[in-house]
Structure 1
Amino acid sequence: MKIITIIGARPQFIKAAAVSKKIREKNQEIIIHTGQHYDENMSKVFFEELNIPYPDYNLNVGSGDHGAQTGRMLEKIEEILLKENPDCVLVYGDTNSTIAGSLAASKLLIPVSHVEAGLRSFNMNMPEEQNRILTDHISRYLFAPTATAVENLNNEGLKNNVFNVGDVMFDAILHFENIAKNKSSILKELNLKNKEYILATIHRAENTNDINRMKSIVEALNESGEKIVLPLHPRTKKYIKEYNLKFSSNIKIIDPIGYLDMIMLEANSKKIVSDSGGVQKEAFFMDVPCITLRDETEWIETVKNGWNILVGADKQKIKNAILSFAPTNKKLDYFGNGKAADKIIDILEKNI
């Protein structure tokens, strides 16, 4: 079986690290990197430390408006699909790389397999929500990470070739956590001690592109009085400067970091404040309370279980949660057994 894997953003590199190894045991894989994330700290470092095979094609599309970026990807991906004639195209998540790869393959009648299918925020103002819904409805195989995701798909009439395989990011955490402990020196470099700091990440457009939301979030972090470590996403950095916002001395700003360093910062933090979907899950996997800077989440299981709290960009809610949020429930098993990649490839081998 010849599979083309399409990736382009940091979370997709992590997921591909789990799945590509399984693909290559018996099958041929060709990797297309769209170049959606092109900063070295957001891209190259992941291939190196996660031992992901280097891309066979790098489209180097870079940043841009949604339509222009997706259009450039579509044109270039189509050319490669026509040349390579794969049996299947594998896409991950909900980025512009996801929808571009899905559309290009679907129009050429190549089966699309969507890893992380069925996630819903029910907020159609989010580009990610548009991408994931469209991708699900043109995919041949839908690999859902949770029972909730399966239910979402069924509610939209998608019942054929829907598989609850578990979450490939859980696979990745189980595999890389011990490696991170041995290889990462980030705690020593930043002079951090276990459970004596809060980790924060901010990158979603709904926050970065809104001066009022960003102002509220920055002020809440500044006024929390906690030691906070903030790896600053390039887009966030741009808007912080544009809005003339300042961080106080309790916040340690660092450049974007690789996955192994991120695992160590997450695992040793006492709480995490983030608007990232992946970070919400990783916090849950590593028993760290998560404060989510969004008004809704696709990972509703983590909220229902009491390990994640939604605070949006409300300054007082953020400060209160930093001060007092503490899970009291026993953590439940929603995300599979760490064998999602095996299940995905087994299903494809039996059906394609």
Structure 2
Amino acid sequence: MNITIVAGARPNFMKIAPIIEAIQNKKEEGFNLNYRLVHTGQHYDKNLSGTFFEELNIPLPDSNLDVKSGTQAEQTAAIMIGFEKELKQNPCDLVMVVGDVTSTMACTIVAKKAHVKVAHVEAGIRSGDMRMPEEINRIVTDSLTDYFFTTSNYANDNLVRLGVSKSNIFFVGNVMIDTLLKNEKRLQKPELWEQLYLSSKKYLVMTLHRPSNVDEEKRLKTLITQIVTLGEAFPIIFPVHPRTQKLLSNLNLNFKNLHYVNPLGYLEFNYLVKHAFAVITDSGGITEETTVMNVPCMTLRDNTERPETCDIGTNILVGNDPEKIEKAFKILFSGTWKQGEIPELWDGHAAKRIVHHLASMSS
């Protein structure tokens, strides 16, 4: 079986790393599994994509579509045009897409129109929020997918409700956690640790990039001001996404305990997360990592496609509601934050299960 693996944005690289390793190991056992890695170039900043190949020992892509930035429609179109040429020049038996970024949806559409089967890793997750581009990507991708690799029973149930045959749903666990567990001992203290005199459990980490939080200046200013004020006893480390940087430059938000830093590589960022007192984020993937590392997490969203991080893990949804945020900080500082547990099959072996199923399909 010849597999084309698609990656385009920062979360994708964490997910493909263990899959590629598992394919290589299976091939050494004598199975007929070959892969070709295509980077769409959706994330092209070195800190958002380039460092991952080095840090996670991912082989360099066989092809880079180099689409770069643009509107949702421009990026989708550029990826589809580039990937159509890629598939014509390099036919395969299966296209594997991961996650819920624009590349995932665009390459799925191209593959199905070329009559190539699609496997979706992290299939079936849903937030129910149609304002999120990722939710549209998930719905379109799963409406076309042939093989669904899922992270939770919530995702399984979502797919069954949509009419997906149970025989095409494979509950394998979370490949993001495969990468975290494999690299946990390799996490690297960033230079800013010494520069800012940080110490374990004595600082907060914040990330913001969702349009609902960062696209309107007044809302962003109010949100950051409240968080910085409530967390005034702690340094707050804020790796700034390029999307957010554009707005922050106009807001002049300068606080003694707020430290803007450039996006960090995987090993450095997760070192910060692991040793943080708490994380404040609007990212879905980070809530999975905080759950496994047992770090309190406030999510600045009203919904999540990863409900297990709330029901089982360390995550609490606060949206951008001032009252909910204040209440969460009171719980945090009182020392009564809930103790999380690790969801089923988040054990570091999801990629092996995926490749086991692929090997069965190819035999």
* Identical pairs, percent: 39
Structure 1 pair 247/158, CA: closer, same or farther in 2 (3 Å)?
Answer: farther
Q: Which amino acid aligns with 2:22?
A: K
1:222-276 residue CA offsets vs partner (Å, 9 max, x unmatched): 212131111111101112224x251411111110000000110010001000000
State the partner residue of 1:221. Answer: 227
Indicate conservation of the 8 Å contact 1:32/1:58, yes or no: yes
State whether structure 2 residue 2 is matched by structure 1 residue 2: yes
Alignment of 1:1-352 (within 5 A): 1-25=1-25, 26=27, 27-159=33-165, 160-180=167-187, 187-224=193-230, 225=232, 226-242=234-250, 244-305=251-312, 307-325=314-332, 326-352=336-362
C-alpha distance in 2 between matches for 1:5 and 1:83: 15
Is the 8 Å Cα contact of residues 117 and 142 (structure 1) preserved in structure 2? yes
Deviations 1:266-300 (A, max 9, x none): 10001000000110110001000100010101111
- Unaligned segments of structure 2, at least 5 residues: 28-32
2:30 counterpart residue number = none
Q: Aligned-pair distance for 1:184?
A: 5.6
Once the two structures are superposed, residues 28-85 of structure 1 have per-residue CA deviations (whole angstroms, 9 ceiling, x without a partner) of 2111111111111111111111111111111111111111110010011011111111
Instruction: Give TM-score scaled by structure 2 length.
Output: 0.92
Q: Quick check: 1:271–1:322 contact (8 Å CA) kept in 2?
A: no
- Give, in angstroms, the shift of residue 332 of structure 1: 4.4
TM-score by length of 1: 0.95
User: Are 1:215 and 1:245, in contact at CA under 8 Å, matched by a contact in 2?
Assistant: no
The answer as to whether partners of 2:150 and 2:173 remain within 8 angstroms in 1 is yes
The separation in 2 between residues aligned to 1:29 and 1:20, in whole angstroms, is 8
Q: Residues 216 and 313 of structure 1 are in contact (CA less than 8 Å); yes or no, is this contact kept in structure 2?
A: no
- Structure 1: runs of 5 or more not aligned: none
TM-fit CA distance, 1:208: 1.5
Distance 1:297-1:275 versus aligned 2 partners, 3 A rule: same
Q: Which one is further off, 134-143 or 206-215?
A: 206-215
Q: Distance in 1 between matches of 2:296 and 2:313?
A: 9
Measure how far apart 1:315 and its partner are: 2.8
- The alignment partner of 1:267 has SS state of helix
Q: Pick closer, same or farther for the CA change 1:262–1:107 going to 2, 3 Å.
A: same
Asked if 1 retains the 8 angstrom alpha-carbon contact of 2:228 and 2:236, the reply is no
1:128 partner letter: E
User: Over aligned residue pairs, what C-alpha RMSD do you find?
Assistant: 1.6
Moved over 6 A (4+): none
Q: 1:205: how far off?
A: 1.9
Separation of aligned partners in 2, 1:92 and 1:12: 6
Q: CA deviation at 1:124?
A: 1.1
